[in-house]
A and B are shown apart, each in its own frame.
Chain A
């Protein structure tokens, strides 16, 4: 990458970036401090030594591996199923003319307006009826497909020139063939954005796993980490070490997809 001199907008952006990064930096610092240093005020910004013990303590003091595994399984399945099911539904809404498609699409959009808290209890009742409470499947099943993902992909699919799909149909592709051979390969930016958004949502989801899971070893990372916060005292250094570990996969995923992520955010927003 070429170096370029700061422009006036960097005067605005650089402090903003610092504000955004501050909690993360603090989290990382606290995770390698001793409990004494973490309690000092003003906070110790440069620790005297690195105390890796917080990490070993975080991993040992709880079924951390099981939480990690649960989070990975739930996130992976949810991301993959959303990519598959949302693109199928989105393509139908984007290109297939069928009776009631507009009404159905508006109804789908309307569900986006309903906050999760409103459907929390009905969702719980349904999942309990299916006998999935306190099971990792309870975290996967309600999130297999998502109205936002359908909406986002439909909007993207509609921007692709329809002649490409017509040419493919004349070349002998079925509808599904058009989707898999032409539309999806051209939608990689939108698909990776959706994957990243779904990963963020699922990985960081707290409320639903808190309600649906009771047993410690079935918890996801976010719920599990919250057990580090006791009623009377909180092990901040261990909690922060756990948080750093919980954040790592997201950082890696973002670094892998950020190119197309940023591009598609830029493309879906206002140009200029």
Chain B
């Protein structure tokens, strides 16, 4: 096991900057998730650690050693690919043992390692099969097994669950977490799925346009997003972001007035998470919005309500509010509803820069 570190790493493809001056240290045994939308540079960053891409500038360190010039095989890392990349002409057994045989490990030891990981992942029955004879979930497990058998310095996982159906994805996500708890190897996990990021990561790095927007433990990123991008990306459904104005300690957005949580003045964006909103009576003293209910989505354990604010023009996208309500009285479409929240759960962002404005 080892640390993995990016030191001022930039990667350009022609004029396109895929990764922009990235500096990040992933601790020994840490599970780091790089999360972001398509094209944010997360996969490129991972491929540079693997040695499949060369950084245009900066250094990559594995275990405090600069590995820029090392071939992928010499870096002692293992990677799980999105499409698994199992060798189609080899059996499961040979797929798992391939990297070990390449490293000239004695045959008995290769067999022992293959047995060890196939027992761990429940692959014993499949060892004689070829990848084409496996289901998607089984292939994913074999790909994991091939990585685990190597006992590498670090695991690199490139959207390993995205080719699976929703149910299998949830199941394997939990298995991944269990495996990491048993064998805490330094792992870098790339995904665009914020649920995977939240559930798996010791820390997550939210990326956009080649830069890290925020780095921290999942709960902290969720509770204290540093800017509008992170606020909109992490959380499902996304945070409600509403234009507002702050004047002498009072925040105004349409009919809503609330004490400003900080000393900011001027144009701001008010952010309220859907799960912080609750249906309230007119007498409720908390700040809130009056909305006309557009769509109601009952989810069994909760109700998702999409509505438009009464105090703004119809069709205004900034006037749409999503709320995640506890099961109870089911609002009907067209009904008028008051949604209130606790002032301290609101987020305020600078309208011009998008940066979060914290209460001082």
A166 within 8 A of B: yes
> CA–CA, A169 to B78, complex, Å?
10
B222 within 8 A of A: no
Q: Which of A170, A172, A174, A177 has the most CB of B within 10 A?
A: A170
Q: Are A186 and B73 in contact (CB under 8 A)?
A: no
Contact residues in B for A182 (Cβ distance below 8 Å): 87
Which of the 9-residue segments B97-105, B178-186, B302-310 touches chain A? B97-105
Other-chain residue from A163, A164, A173 in contact with B73 (beta carbon distance below 8 A): A173
Contact residues in A for B52 (Cβ distance below 8 Å): 166, 169-170
> CA–CA, A172 to B105, complex, Å?
12
Considering only residues 159-175 of chain A, those with a C-beta below 8 Å from chain B are: 161, 163-164, 166-174
Interface string of A129-173 (1 = CB under 8 A from B): 000000000000000000000000000000001011011111111
Q: Chain B, interface size: which category? A: 20 to 34
> CA–CA, A174 to B71, complex, Å?
9
Closest to B89 in A: A185
Contact residues in A for B146 (Cβ distance below 8 Å): 167, 171
Interface string of B55-97 (1 = CB under 8 A from A): 0000000000000000111110111011101011100000000
Q: Are A164 and B98 in contact (CB under 8 A)?
A: no
Q: Are A174 and B73 in contact (CB under 8 A)?
A: yes
A169-B71, A170-B77, A171-B102 given as contacts; is B88 within 8 A of A186 (CB)?
A: yes
13 other A-B residue contacts (CB within 8 Å) besides A171-B150, A172-B74: A161-B85, A163-B82, A164-B85, A164-B87, A166-B79, A168-B87, A168-B98, A169-B51, A169-B52, A170-B72, A170-B77, A170-B99, A186-B88
Q: Are B99 and A172 in contact (CB under 8 A)?
A: yes
CB distance from B22 to the nearest CB of A (A): 21
Other-chain residue from A167, A172, A174, A177 in contact with B85 (beta carbon distance below 8 A): A167
CB distance from A144 to the nearest CB of B (A): 28
Contact residues in B for A186 (Cβ distance below 8 Å): 88-89
B50 within 8 A of A: yes
A173-B102, A177-B102, A186-B88 given as contacts; is B73 within 8 A of A167 (CB)?
A: no
Q: Are A169 and B87 in contact (CB under 8 A)?
A: no
> CA–CA, A171 to B146, complex, Å?
9
A169-B52, A172-B99, A172-B103 given as contacts; is B89 within 8 A of A163 (CB)?
A: no
